[in-house]
Amino acid sequence: MSSVIGIDFGTTNSVVTSLRADGAVSVLTHDTAEVFRSVLSFWMDTEGRTRHAAGPQAIETYLDDPFDTRLIMSMKSYLAQRSFTETRILGRSWNLENLIAAFLGHLLAPFRDELAGAQVVVGRPVRFVGETADDAYGNERLIAAFAAAGVPEVQVAFEPAAAGHRFAQTLDHPANVLVADFGGGTSDFSILRFDPGPPRRVTPLGHSGVGIAGDAFDFRIMDHVVSPLLGKGGTYRPWGNDLPIPPGWYINFARWHLLSLMRAPKTLRDIADVARTAAEPKRLAHLVQLIEDEVGYALYRAISGVKAALSSADSARLSFRHGDFVVETDIARSDFEAWISPELTAIGGAVDAALRDAAMAPAQVDRVFLTGGSSLVPAVRRLFEERFGAERVVAGGEFVSVAEGLALMGQD
């Protein structure tokens, strides 16, 4: 039986860890995979019953039959949004807590023996996603989702603080550490004072966060490269006068957690109506086709692949094809960095907010630990090197450090 279980339920990926009696932390794997994709798929079986799967199996069922399968991504992004109460899937109403509980059921199914009697520590961002995010409400719904999944008692901890506990294992002297955790939906920062002891002491000094991260970087690639090919920026003439094609469609199309909602009949009818008098109707026809054929996941993979490639190359090619819609475009890292400059500015502002919360100057930070997928983006790392000096900035554990730290926090 495990003494502590750490669960990092992420926007894009989720990880489960276990703290054993000897103090070692191990990642609990699904068929040798440490990372479990945070996705759900729904379909109707031959007897008319609604079925669902999660993680790799969800992706597999969707790719086998994308038209008749509903793929749900980025569920965590809705937690703090009071406007999202429920959605209908194959004729049944699902609230967000039950959707997340269905996912957690699949995530935790292989580990029920480890969960029995264990202390469970769950991560949450400092700031949830959304301009109108209610962080307390998001926290309540997160706890309710775990309760619905059969885990009624959980402790909740800030994700960057958890990553800091993991990083603290490498320290042999007292230090002030800024931890930057970049997830799929949020960027979170904690400043912690570590004293290796004995006894080991961890003192939180300041926190901050912003509801943007990896998904926002993907959005910029979609918005600048793909959406114009689907009609963004074009015009239509409903009454003999040129009007702009509604930009809101492209905001939703470029955000993965909103894309599935565009398959509503009214939205598709509205796009078709605009296409009748559009200057370039073929582009809107492509938009409808991509929405109807549920190819968002394939497009998401292509764009995420380009983003990853730009972390180590000066340019990368975006290649995507569906029917007669084709994208073959080289993207320069310099252009990508210009596109994400608003996000970089917001991240820098959140770092400054964490320093203010801790009443510290940058010179008082001894070490900076970067973790999460977007920490690999050169422009992100450069932001910290310019503020704190390259010699103080380290990175690692991009996908498992939060979950490992959550288990260690349970011990502390």
Complete edge-to-edge strand list for the sheet that includes strand 39-44: 50-54, 39-44, 70-73
The model's pLDDT over 77-115, given as tens digits with 9 standing for 90+, comes to 999 999 888 888 888 899 999 999 999 999 999 999 999
Reported as a pLDDT band with limits 50, 70 and 90, residue 63 is confident
How far, in Å, are 29, 30, 59, 63 from residue 40 at the CA level? Answer: 18, 16, 8, 13
Residues in contact with 158: Cβ distance below 8 Å, sequence separation at least 6, in sequence order: 123, 124, 125, 126, 188, 190, 207
- Residue 182: predicted pLDDT: 92
Q: Give the whole-number percent of the chain exceeding pLDDT 90.
A: 70
| Cα–Cα distance for residue pair 412/408, rounded to 1 Å | 6
Tell me the pLDDT band of 64, cut-offs 50, 70 and 90.
Answer: confident
What pLDDT band is residue 177 in, cutting at 50, 70 and 90? very high
Nearest C-alpha neighbor of 66 from the set 287, 294, 259:
294
d(C-alpha 74, C-alpha 87), whole Å: 14
pLDDT of residue 1: 44
Phi, psi of 7 (to 5 degrees): -125, 115
Quote the CATH superfamily of domain 4-159+407-411. Answer: ATPase, nucleotide binding domain (3.30.420.40)
The tokens describing 58, both together, are 């969800």
Determine contact, residues 317/306, Cβ cutoff 8 Å.
yes
Q: What's the pTM?
A: 0.87
Confidence (pLDDT) at 193: 95
Q: Residues 337-348: what's their mean pLDDT?
A: 96
- Can you read off the two tokens belonging to residue 39? 């996705």
- Tally the residues of the chain: 412
Strands 155-158 and 119-124, bridge-based pairing: parallel
Distance in angstroms (rounded) separating the CA atoms of residues 346 and 360: 19
Q: Give the Å distances, CA to CA, from 38 to 75, 200, 322.
A: 8, 34, 25
| Residue-by-residue DSSP string for 309-324 | HTTTSSEEEEEEEETT
The per-residue pLDDT for range 157-176, each reduced to its tens digit, is 999 999 998 888 888 899 99
Q: What is the DSSP string of 220-275?
A: HHIIIIIGGGGTTT-EE-TTSS-EEPPTHHHHHHTSHHHHGGGGSHHHHHHHHHHH
Q: What is the pLDDT of residue 257?
A: 66
DSSP letter at 3 equals S
Residue-wise pLDDT for 328-342, tens only, equals: 999 999 999 999 999
Whether residue 21 is predicted with pLDDT greater than 90 in this model: the reply is no
C-alpha to C-alpha distances, 58 to 51, 69, 133, 285, nearest whole angstrom = 10, 9, 28, 28
| Residue at token pair 């001894």 | 366
